[in-house]
Structure 1
Amino acid sequence: MFYRNSIGAAVLAAVFVAAIADVRAQDEMKYPDWSGQWLRTGGIQWDPTKPLGRGQQAPLTPEYQAIFEASLADQAVGGAGNDARYSCFPVGMPRLMSVIFPMEFILSPKIAYVLFENNMPRRIYTDGRSWPSDPEPTFAGYSIGKWFDEDGDSRFDVLEVETRYMKGPRTFEGTGLPLHKDNQTVVKERIHLDKSNADVLHDQITTIDNALILPWTVTKKFRRERKPSWLENDCSEDNHHVAIGKENYFLSADGYLMPTKKGQMPPDLRYFSNR
Structure 2
Amino acid sequence: MYASAMLIPFLLRRRYDLPVTAALVILGTLLLSTSLAAQWVKYPTAGVPRKADGSVNMAGRTPRLADGKPDFSGIWTTAEPNRPTGGLSGPSNQAAAGPAPIVDDKPGDPRAITASRQMSNIGVDLPGGLPYQPWLVPIVKERTANNAIADPHIRCLPDNFLRAYGLPHMLQFVHTPSLLVVLNEMNAGYRRVFSDARPLPDDPTPSWQGYSSAKWSGDTLVVDTIGLRDDTWIDWNGSVLTEAAKVREQMRRPDFGHLEIQVTVDDPKAYTKPWTVTLKQRIVLDTELIDEICLENEKFLQYIK
User: Which range, TM-score by smaller chain?
Assistant: 0.5 to 0.7
SS of the counterpart of 2:66?
Answer: helix
Counterpart AA for 1:65: V
Once residues 160 and 179 of structure 1 are traced to their aligned partners in structure 2, the CA distance between those partners, rounded to angstroms, is 19
Please identify the structure whose Cα radius of gyration is greater: 1
Deviations 1:231-270 (A, max 9, x none): 211121112244xxxxxx42xxxxxxxxx46xxxxxxxxx
Once residues 94 and 147 of structure 1 are traced to their aligned partners in structure 2, the CA distance between those partners, rounded to angstroms, is 20
Q: Which residue does 1:72 correspond to in 2? A: 144
Out of 116, 123, 133, the position equivalent to 2:202 is 133
Structure 1 residues without counterparts, runs of 5 or longer: 1-25, 150-156, 243-248, 251-259, 262-275
Residues 68, 142 of structure 1: CA spacing in aligned structure 2 closer, same or farther, 3 A cutoff?
same
Once residues 31 and 53 of structure 1 are traced to their aligned partners in structure 2, the CA distance between those partners, rounded to angstroms, is 33
TM-score in terms of structure 2 length: 0.60
Q: Which residue does 1:145 correspond to in 2? A: 214
Q: Which has the higher contact order (CA 8 A, sep 6+)?
A: 2
Out of 281, 294, 305, the position equivalent to 1:235 is 294
Matches within 5 A, 1:166-181: 166-180=228-242
Out of 130, 134, 145, the position equivalent to 1:58 is 130
SS of the counterpart of 1:140?
Answer: coil
8 Å Cα contact 2:77-2:171 kept in structure 1: yes
Shift of 1:107: 1.7
Matches within 5 A, 1:42-121: 42-43=80-81, 49=100, 52-53=120-121, 56=124, 57-75=129-147, 80-118=148-186, 119-121=188-190
SS of the counterpart of 1:233?
Answer: coil
Aligned-residue CA RMSD (Å): 2.8
8 Å Cα contact 1:82-1:175 kept in structure 2: no
SS of the counterpart of 1:66?
Answer: helix
8 Å Cα contact 1:81-1:176 kept in structure 2: no
User: How many equivalent pairs are there?
Assistant: 206
Structure 2 residues without counterparts, runs of 5 or longer: 1-63, 101-116
Deviations 1:146-178 (A, max 9, x none): 0233xxxxxxx2110000001144112122223
SS of the counterpart of 1:39?
Answer: strand
Q: Which has the higher strand share?
A: 1
- Give percent identity, aligned residues only: 27
Counterpart AA for 2:248: K
Residues 106, 53 of structure 1: CA spacing in aligned structure 2 closer, same or farther, 3 A cutoff?
closer
Counterpart AA for 1:101: H
Shift of 1:225: 2.0
Once residues 238 and 65 of structure 1 are traced to their aligned partners in structure 2, the CA distance between those partners, rounded to angstroms, is 33
Once residues 185 and 82 of structure 1 are traced to their aligned partners in structure 2, the CA distance between those partners, rounded to angstroms, is 21
| 1:208 aligned onto 2:242 | no
Shift of 1:66: 0.9
Runs of 4+ deviating beyond 4 Å: 43-51
TM-score in terms of structure 1 length: 0.66
